[in-house]
Amino acid sequence: MRLLLATRNLKKLDELRRILATSPALVGVELIGLNDVPEYPEAPETGLTFAENALLKAREGVKYTGLPTVADDSGLAVDALSGMPGVFSARWSGRFGNDYPHGKDVANLELVLDQTHDVADDKRGAAFICAAALVLPGGDGNREHLVSGQMRGRLLRAPRGLGGFGYDPIFQAEGHTRSTAELTAEEKDAISHRGQAFRALAAVIAKQLKP
């Protein structure tokens, strides 16, 4: 059984592989990344919600490869910014920049810090949200499954930590004293929006994909 993980974000791909690999139900399912698929097209991301975008990305995978495909659409919703950057998280500043601190471009994270500079400590609530879609090819039309996960927390005032990616250095999960970039990979997966969504999806994948 082969399953396509349709993401171009290598850090996200690492997390998906890690989370799905810990699911006993998925033993024997071969996980294919987009680097294994030549000339993969740009997936449309025109939805207004995480769920719509996750479905769009997973449908594109099925259309192009014929393989059962999973996709993730995720982002940071900041209370004081009315839920923004939300579905625009990957390029909130107008530039892609999700590899902090390994990449050079921290424009998105810096912009959110600037925009929340005057927000008081007790109003700094935020959540990471992840929608995860599984689309299965079928003669009589695709079958589609959607799940989601959420991690509540608060925005810090300056970046901390070298782990994770994207906005992790400025986010502290509820009940934690370290940023999500200061957690180990296993600690983040255990509580993250992506961990929750893909552990739920793993059960669906196993049921739908295995004979």
* Closer residue to ligand ITT (CB): 7 or 26: 7
Q: Of 72, 73, 79, 118, which is the active-site residue?
A: 73
Partner interacting with residue 128 (select from ligand ITT, Na ion, none; CB below 5-8 Å by kind): ligand ITT
Q: Which of residues 118-147 bind Na ion (CB under 5 A)?
A: none
Nearest-CB residue for ligand ITT: 166
Whether 73 is catalytic: yes
98 binds, among Na ion, ligand ITT, none (CB under 5 to 8 A by kind): ligand ITT
* Structural contact between residues 64 and 40, judged by C-beta atoms closer than 8 angstroms: yes
Query: Which residues make up each annotated binding site for substrate?
Result: 7-12, 74, 165-168, 188, 193-194
Residue 69: name its binding partner from Na ion, ligand ITT, none (Cβ under 5 to 8 Å by kind): none
Question: In the bound complex, what is the minimum distance in angstroms from residue 137's beta carbon to ligand ITT?
Answer: 20
Could you tell me how far CA 161 lies from the centroid of its own chain?
19
Annotated binding site for Mg(2+): 73
Catalytic residues: 73
